[in-house]
Structure 1
């Protein structure tokens, strides 16, 4: 009975992963299709990658999306780290419940509602104070920071909750000021979580379509918006080539980040062991 159950679980795991990754594999394979018809195989060819390199609309949109994602994820990581630290280390300040709710609200709020509310906010601000003058690069970044901040805050809050306070207390006992303890002890320990939060914010910002559609202006069409507009007119083989490049970049980025985070984690464990030995020797 146990053996049958194990095979049943393995079968469903294979089926689920095949359902998830088979479309991705098909996109990669058909990006090398020589035929202009996406669903008809016409032999192996890389001509669509060359056509993609000559498509200025897609190239400009990709560069713009990368700039927006990099800036918004960096700002969101800074603000999300501060928010996570405040929620964990200052549990009894006035308005904590409201602050926690505002930080977590974008996680459960539909993107259509978030995008519409941001659009109305920008229009009202322009009428009241004259800024921002229309929608564009700045408004998209503000909108992306607003909803990616919540994801980073959740990651950092979880990391601060499991952080060993004895290391910070030991540093303070040795005469270090709280600010120095944060930058020398706390920040290096939570650095893997910060990197994970930045990557999560970068991915969400790069992938966003709905909120960007509400807050962008002329000349600031992001890559998802350009891809969506092209797909509405029919399947374009260049989109398969673009998707394959993005998949390769993401895979390489995940591998590099994983290796780097593991190195940081091993270094952190060694530093903690050395610190505990130093504390034990002084005691």
Structure 2
């Protein structure tokens, strides 16, 4: 009888597996999540903190005292204003061009069947899967070799500069836009378009009234991704820039003489702007979903 009682679990005591799972859910998982968040946020937090620093020398590596001087004149360093302007212009233009072309390509790949469709799907992934250093060196070779092509106008692709950076950024951004919008289109209910056409709407009206509003969140997400990739790019820009300077190239060149505090200020502004755009897009989509759910069916 005593042996039998020792083999039975005590009343109310949970098995070891359940206790371990509860300990993991209650303690280990929150600690791990907190550590991961700190790991991701810490570099950004240090950048924001040191944007208010007043360093004693050229290098903004040790905290000295709180100062707003860099925030009062964020573009005061020589060449910094030109670099930031070039980066913003390239990012805006390449995002607009890549989003327009990428949406059209995604619509063609999802809605139409044509010869070479599978090969096109494969080619779309090549810029994403190719290492940036390989892609940048290939573009550099192409731009230099374009001077030997009779059908390329003189000065169109060489010498290197603003134009070649823009072409390179549009090229690699198209792939990300196509993949993002294509995923949105593949989950799109086509019966809504068919119902609109049955009610007398033509294809143009159906696209703008039905298709476009439903895929707009995917387009906005693709545009934000393209903009962030463009303004952050260094490797491909380094190969195709020539004498044109961008913000990442400026930071790389300033490392030898000391990165100024203004770089932290501009990095903080870019980061907070990106966060604001993501929050605005999320709120827009949530409000749109709520209004669509509250709309009467009749």
TM-score by length of 1: 0.89
SS at match of 1:39: coil
Q: How big is each residue's C-alpha offset from its partner over 1:225-255, in whole Å with a ceiling of 9 and x where there is no partner?
A: 1011112433433322222222222222222
1:174-253 equivalences under 5 Å are: 174-218=199-243, 220-253=244-277
Higher mean displacement: 180-189 or 102-111: 180-189
| C-alpha contact (below 8 Å) 2:251/2:259 kept by paired residues | no
Q: How big is each residue's C-alpha offset from its partner over 1:105-144, in whole Å with a ceiling of 9 and x where there is no partner?
A: 1111101111111111112222213332411222111110
| C-alpha contact (below 8 Å) 2:125/2:175 kept by paired residues | yes
Q: Which residue of 1 aligns with 2:49?
A: 29
Name the count of aligned residue pairs. Answer: 272
Gaps of 5+ in 2: 1-18
SS at match of 1:75: helix
1:70 correspondence with 2:89: no
TM-score by length of 2: 0.85
1:46-195 equivalences under 5 Å are: 46-90=68-112, 92-128=113-149, 129=152, 130=154, 131-195=156-220
Q: CA deviation at 1:267?
A: 4.2
Q: CA deviation at 1:51?
A: 4.8
| C-alpha contact (below 8 Å) 1:126/1:134 kept by paired residues | no
Gaps of 5+ in 1: 279-283
Q: Which residue of 2 aligns with 1:256?
A: 280
Q: CA deviation at 1:75?
A: 0.8
Q: Which residue of 1 aligns with 2:3?
A: none
Q: Which has the larger radius of gyration?
A: 2
Q: Distance in 1 between matches of 2:271 and 2:129?
A: 27
Q: How big is each residue's C-alpha offset from its partner over 1:65-99, in whole Å with a ceiling of 9 and x where there is no partner?
A: 11110110111111111111122112x42111110
| C-alpha contact (below 8 Å) 2:162/2:241 kept by paired residues | yes
Q: Distance in 1 between matches of 2:222 and 2:42?
A: 28
Q: Distance in 2 between matches of 1:169 and 1:127?
A: 51
Larger proportion of helix: 1
Alignment RMSD: 1.8
